Amino acid sequence: MTAQKKYVVGITDHMFGAPDLEAEVLGDDVEIDFFATTDETLFSPERLARLDALMVWGARLGPKSIAQLSRCRGVVRYGVGYEKIDLSALADAGIPFANNPDYGTEEVADHALAMMLSLHRRLWEHDARARGYTTGWQVHSLKPLARSNRTTVGVIGVGRIGTAVVNRLKPFGFRILGYDPGQPPGHEKAVGYERADRLDDLFAQADIVTLHCPANDETRGILGADGLSRLKPGAILVNTARGELLDDLDALEASLRNGHLAAAAIDTLAQEPPRDHPLLTAWRDRSDWLEGRLVITPHNAFYSDHAAIEMRHNAAQTIKILLEEGRLRNQITA
C-alpha cells in the first residue's frame, strides 16, 4: 500500500515534458499533480482544492480558479512576468505569490546583445542581399554603418538583465545611456552607464534602444506610434522583455516602411503565436523592403539547456522552502 504524501503540489503546465526534476527537488513527501494544460477552464475544482501549493508556467490564473485553492499556501510562477496571474484575487484569498527572477539572466542578455550587434553591423541584410549579387562583391557594402564607439545604446530598464546587457556592451566601446527611475542615485556610477533622467532624452540620443523593463501601467505601449515617432531617425529597436511594450504592429510597420526605424529585433510579442498582420506576412515572405531589417525569435531568449534546468530547480526550491519553512522567497504583492 502506497503511503499518503504529506503535501500536494500542482503544476499547471510547462514545455519540458514530465515534471521529474521538480519531483526530485521537492522530495518524497510531495505528490505532484501535473495538469499539463494552459487552458484554465480545464482546471478541475476538485484537483485545485487538494493543492498545498501551485506552480504556473503559461496558464492564466483568474478568480474562478483561485477561489478553489482552499488549502493553497502559495502560487509560484516559473518565469519572471506575471501578467496572466490575478494578483488581486490571490491577495483577497490570502494566498501569497512569487515569481522566479533568478534564472536565464545571462541568456537574455546574450540574446539581446546578439540582436543588437547583428543589426548594428547589418549582418542579416548583407546576407539577404549578397545572395543576389552577380557582379561586384565588396562594393555592395551597405551604408550607413557606424563604428561601435560612435554609437549610443539606450537601455530601458537597468535591473538584473539590463545591468548584464550594460556589462556586455562596455568592451565594444558603445556609449551607454540607461533609463530606470527605480534605480537609486549612483546606480549608474556603480554599474557604469550614463543616467537618462527623462525617457525622451534617451529616445533623442540612442542609435539603438533595447528594452529590459516589465509590462505595467507605466510601460505598456511605451513604443507604440507615439514612442516610435520620438526615436532618433534611423534607430534600431530590440525587445527581449515583454510583447506589451511594443504591441502596435501597425505603427511598427509604418516606422519600418518609412525608414524612421532602421531595424527591429523582437523576441516577445503581445500575442503568441502571432496573429496575422501585413508586417508579419512581409517578414514571413522575406519581402525585399523588409528583409534583414526585422528579426523575430519565438520567445526563447531565456533558453539554454542550463537555464531550463535552473528555472525549474529554482521554482521548485521556492515551493520546497515555503512548505518546509513557511516563507515565500521572491514574493510579489499586488
pLDDT tens over the chain, length 334 residues: 456 889 999 999 988 888 999 999 999 999 999 999 999 999 999 999 999 999 999 999 999 999 999 999 999 999 988 889 999 999 999 999 999 998 899 999 999 999 999 999 999 999 999 999 999 999 999 999 999 999 999 999 999 999 999 999 999 999 999 999 999 999 999 999 999 999 999 999 999 999 999 888 899 999 999 999 999 999 999 999 999 999 899 999 999 999 999 999 999 999 999 989 999 999 999 999 999 999 999 999 999 999 999 999 999 999 999 999 999 999 998 6
- Give the pLDDT score at 2: 59
Q: Is residue 71 situated within a structural domain? A: yes
Residues 137 and 261 in one domain: yes
> What is the C-alpha to C-alpha distance for residues 247 and 224, in angstroms, rounded to an integer?
7
Q: Is residue 19 situated within a structural domain? A: yes
Q: Is residue 111 situated within a structural domain? A: yes
Q: Which of 24, 147, 198, 272 is catalytic?
A: 272
pLDDT digits (tens, 9 = 90+) for 278-298: 999 999 999 999 999 999 999
pLDDT digits (tens, 9 = 90+) for 105-143: 999 999 999 999 999 999 999 999 999 999 999 999 999
Please state the domain count of the chain: 2
Q: Which of 242, 293, 310, 312 is catalytic?
A: 242
3-state SS class at 231: coil
- Give the pLDDT score at 90: 97
Q: Tell me whether residue 71 is one of the annotated catalytic residues.
A: no
Residues 323 and 239 in one domain: no
Q: Identify the CATH number of the domain in which residue 45 sits.
A: 3.40.50.720
Q: Is residue 324 situated within a structural domain? A: yes
Q: Is residue 232 situated within a structural domain? A: yes
Q: Which of 60, 160, 299, 313 is catalytic?
A: 299
Residues facing residue 263 across a β-bridge: 236
Residues 19 and 111 in one domain: no
- Of 19, 30, 239, 244, which is closest to residue 119 (Cα–Cα)? 239
Q: Is residue 2 situated within a structural domain? A: no
Strand bridging mode 7-11 / 30-34 = parallel
Q: What is the 3-state secondary structure (H, E, C) of 167-184?
A: HHHHHHCCEEEEECCCCC
**DSSP annotation string for 3-46:** PPPSEEEEE---SSSS-HHHHHHH-TTEEEEE---S-GGG--HH
- Cβ atoms within 10 Å of 318's Cβ, excluding its own: 26
Q: Tell me whether residue 125 is one of the annotated catalytic residues.
A: no
Residues 217 and 326 in one domain: no
Residues 71 and 20 in one domain: yes
Residues 58 and 188 in one domain: no
Q: Is residue 1 situated within a structural domain? A: no
HSE (side-chain half, CA atoms, 13 Å) at 224: 10
Residues 248 and 131 in one domain: yes
Residues 66 and 114 in one domain: no
- Of 31, 7, 1, which is closest to residue 19 (Cα–Cα)? 31
- Of 10, 80, 74, which is closest to residue 40 (Cα–Cα)? 10
**DSSP annotation string for 238-272:** EE-S-GGGG--HHHHHHHHHTTSEEEEEES--SSS
Does the pTM of the predicted model rise above 0.85?
Answer: yes
Residues 223 and 313 in one domain: no
Residues 76 and 157 in one domain: no
> What is the C-alpha to C-alpha distance for residues 245 and 236, in angstroms, rounded to an integer?
15
Q: Which domain holds residue 143?
A: 105-296
- Of 133, 220, 122, 202, which is closest to residue 162 (Cα–Cα)? 202
Residues 29 and 68 in one domain: yes
Residues 175 and 268 in one domain: yes
Q: Is residue 263 situated within a structural domain? A: yes
Q: Tell me whether residue 272 is one of the annotated catalytic residues.
A: yes
